[in-house]
């Protein structure tokens, strides 16, 4: 029966090609615009670490003095060197990583490559297993390397390609800021989106080219360019930043169960009380332990203009559906005579309704295919924009499927009212008029 309805629908659509083309293009424009913005939102608001994000948390403390204190204020977004090291060495979480970002001068061994600056991540050993960073060659450094202030480095795949032609560079020496570092590992392709572990360095920026132990980075005074917030007499002098009242480090923990997360938050409260008793902290305990996705929501990582564009595009899709519905109603009502004859010959209202919905579905499939091409064009235009997330705008398999399903569902929704109206035609009245 479906084949019969399909044949009737194709003949009907071919009889009035102009009206059919209008319906298809109206639907395609709505699908193309909405899927372009939905795809961008999907890319920007995706889970950067599927399967692991529910175990990652971002602790916050408030070590400031009482100047400007208001109960209920949000605690600091970063931690001081002293607090970061205290929490790190306490090792109360399953894993923990302390870090900041910077830019380092690279002095290549190959004289054909001019010296250049590269984005760097100064962190601790658990960074790599905690964030499931894939390795192409070698391995991450160890906790013992952190304690020994070992001058080791892990390179990104792109940096390894640039400096060593893509070969296994483990054991090679890389000079940075006139200091020699031994390459212990090379990452495979890795670019979490968003750049969740340090939103101060750009929400959708590429991952860093070099990764260096935090302790070694301070020994050779590798420059840092992350955010810093000081109070009291803290001036943020980089040479004395470890002892200054300034927050400038990000601290992440992995807690494998909700019970461990609850216990760790309680530990943070006890830590603040202990530091208050020692005279370091002045404010009442005020801690937060946000999960990864909650942390991204708190920082409003997804640009507000992207959400606005999505709602505008969905509004445009609704307008297109209303117009498509009007065109379908016009087309179906023009066929009152044909439908009346079918009813008089014994076709039920349900059969006529199904026939017209099949016709609407064909419009949806064709409109979805064209809308998909328009969405690809729209994403290509997005990738030409000067935004840090522009190059991420690609249509993946899930969004491709959603595009086709949305097109068919939208056309069927647009065809419900016209199909129902056409089924209400009285056969006797149409036969008499004919």
Comparison of pLDDT for 395 and 184, the residue scoring more: 184
Segments of 109-235 assigned E as strands: 116-123, 135-138, 152-155, 173-176, 179-187, 210-213, 229-230
- Reported as a pLDDT band with limits 50, 70 and 90, residue 430 is very low
d(CA 149, CA 218): 9
d(CA 203, CA 205): 6
What is the rounded average pLDDT of the residues 331-343?
64
Q: How many CB atoms lie within 10 A of CB 127?
A: 24
- Greatest mean pLDDT range, 228-237, 247-256, 355-364: 247-256
24: which residues sit within 8 A by CB, 6+ positions away?
363, 366, 367, 370
Find out whether 198 and 48 touch, Cβ atoms under 8 Å. no
Q: What is the pLDDT of residues 356-413, one digit of tens each?
A: 777 777 887 888 888 888 888 888 888 887 766 667 777 777 777 887 787 778 777 7
DSSP H helices in 45-156 = 81-90, 127-130, 143-147
- Greatest mean pLDDT range, 169-173, 332-336, 403-407: 169-173
| Residue with token string 């403390």 | 61
What is the rounded average pLDDT of the residues 426-430?
52
Give how far Cα 72 sits from Cα of 62, 268, 287, Å: 11, 17, 10
**DSSP annotation of 208:** P
The pLDDT, as a whole number, for residue 408 is 77
Residue 233, both tokens: 């007499």
Lowest-confidence pick of 146-155, 259-268, 285-294, 296-305:
296-305
Q: What is the pLDDT of residues 295-308, one digit of tens each?
A: 988 888 777 777 77
Give how far Cα 251 sits from Cα of 63, 80, 100, 214, Å: 15, 10, 9, 12
Q: What is the mean pLDDT of the chain?
A: 84
Going 133 to 139 to 144 to 150, the CA torsion angle's sign is negative
Going 332 to 333 to 335 to 338, the CA torsion angle's sign is positive
Residues 130-148 as b/e (b if ≥16 CB within 10 A, e otherwise) read bbebebbbbebbeeebbee
Residue 300, both tokens: 């409003």
- Reported as a pLDDT band with limits 50, 70 and 90, residue 431 is very low
d(CA 23, CA 295): 44
326: which residues sit within 8 A by CB, 6+ positions away?
none
Q: CA 30, 31, 35 angle in degrees (round to 5)?
A: 120
DSSP string, 25-68: HHHHHHHHHHHHHHHHHHHHTS-SSTTTGGGEEEEE-----STT
Residue/partner pairs of 266-275 with CB below 8 Å, 24 or more apart: 267/90, 267/92, 268/59, 268/61, 271/61, 271/86, 271/87, 271/90, 272/61, 272/62, 275/63, 275/83
Lowest-confidence pick of 90-104, 167-181, 338-352, 412-426:
338-352
Q: Is residue 429 pLDDT above 60, yes or no?
A: no
Domain boundaries, the chain: 2-45+302-433, 53-298
d(CA 310, CA 397): 20
DSSP H helices in 91-166 = 127-130, 143-147, 157-164
What is the rounded average pLDDT of the residues 409-426?
72
- Reported as a pLDDT band with limits 50, 70 and 90, residue 188 is very high
d(CA 412, CA 362): 9
Q: What percent of the chain has pLDDT over 70?
A: 86
345: which residues sit within 8 A by CB, 6+ positions away?
none
Q: What is the pLDDT of residues 84-138, one digit of tens each?
A: 999 999 999 999 999 999 999 999 988 888 999 999 999 999 999 999 999 999 9
The pLDDT, as a whole number, for residue 192 is 86
Read off φ and ψ for residue 390, nearest 5 degrees: -60, -45
pTM: 0.76
What is the rounded average pLDDT of the residues 273-289?
92
Q: Is residue 39 pLDDT above 90, yes or no?
A: no
d(CA 306, CA 41): 7
Ramachandran category for residue 171: left, alpha or beta (phi over 0 → left; psi -120 to 50 → alpha) = left
The pLDDT, as a whole number, for residue 398 is 78
Residue 354, both tokens: 């199904």
Find out whether 59 and 90 touch, Cβ atoms under 8 Å. no
Task: Give the DSSP H or E segment for 105.
Answer: strand 95-107
Task: Give the DSSP H or E segment for 433.
Answer: helix 427-433
């Amino acid at each position: 029966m479906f084949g019969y309805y399909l044949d009737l629908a194709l003949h009907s659509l071919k009889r009035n090609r102009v009206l059919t083309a209008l319906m298809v293009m109206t639907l395609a424009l709505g699908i193309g615009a909405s899927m372009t913005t939905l795809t961008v939102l999907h890319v920007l608001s995706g889970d950067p670490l599927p399967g692991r994000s529910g175990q990652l948390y971002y602790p916050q403390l408030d070590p400031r003095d009482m100047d400007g204190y208001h109960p209920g204020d949000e605690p600091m977004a970063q931690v001081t060197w002293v607090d970061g090291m205290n929490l790190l060495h306490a090792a109360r979480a399953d894993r923990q990583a302390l870090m900041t970002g910077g830019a380092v001068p690279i002095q290549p061994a190959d004289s054909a490559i001019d010296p250049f600056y590269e984005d760097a991540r100064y962190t601790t050993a658990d960074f790599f297993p905690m964030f499931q960073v894939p390795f192409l060659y070698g391995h991450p450094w160890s906790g013992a390397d952190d304690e020994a202030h070992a001058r080791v480095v892990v390179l990104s795949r792109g940096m390894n390609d640039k400096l060593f032609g893509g070969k296994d560079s483990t054991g090679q020496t890389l000079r940075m800021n006139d200091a020699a570092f031994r390459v212990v590992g090379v990452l495979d392709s890795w670019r979490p989106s968003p750049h969740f572990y340090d939103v101060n360095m750009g929400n959708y920026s590429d991952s860093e080219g070099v990764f260096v132990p935090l302790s070694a980075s301070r020994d050779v005074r590798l420059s840092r360019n992350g955010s810093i917030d000081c109070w009291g007499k803290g001036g943020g002098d980089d040479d004395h930043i470890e002892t200054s009242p300034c927050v400038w480090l990000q601290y992440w923990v992995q807690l494998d169960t909700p019970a461990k997360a609850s216990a760790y938050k309680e530990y943070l409260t006890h830590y603040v009380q202990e530091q208050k008793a020692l005279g370091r902290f002045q404010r009442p305990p005020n801690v937060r332990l946000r999960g990864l996705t909650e942390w991204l929501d708190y920082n409003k990582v997804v640009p507000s203009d992207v959400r606005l564009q999505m709602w505008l595009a969905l509004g445009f899709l609704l307008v297109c559906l209303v117009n498509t519905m009007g065109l379908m109603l016009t087309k179906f009502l023009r066929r009152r005579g044909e439908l009346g004859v079918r009813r008089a010959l014994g076709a039920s209202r349900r059969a006529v309704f199904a026939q017209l919905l099949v016709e609407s579905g064909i419009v949806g499939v064709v409109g979805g295919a064209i809308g998909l091409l328009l969405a690809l064009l729209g994403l290509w235009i997005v990738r030409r924009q000067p935004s840090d997330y522009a190059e991420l705008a690609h249509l993946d398999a899930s969004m491709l499927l959603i595009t086709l399903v949305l097109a068919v569902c939208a056309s069927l929704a647009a065809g419900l009212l016209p199909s129902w109206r056409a089924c209400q035609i009285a056969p006797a009245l149409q036969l008499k008029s004919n």
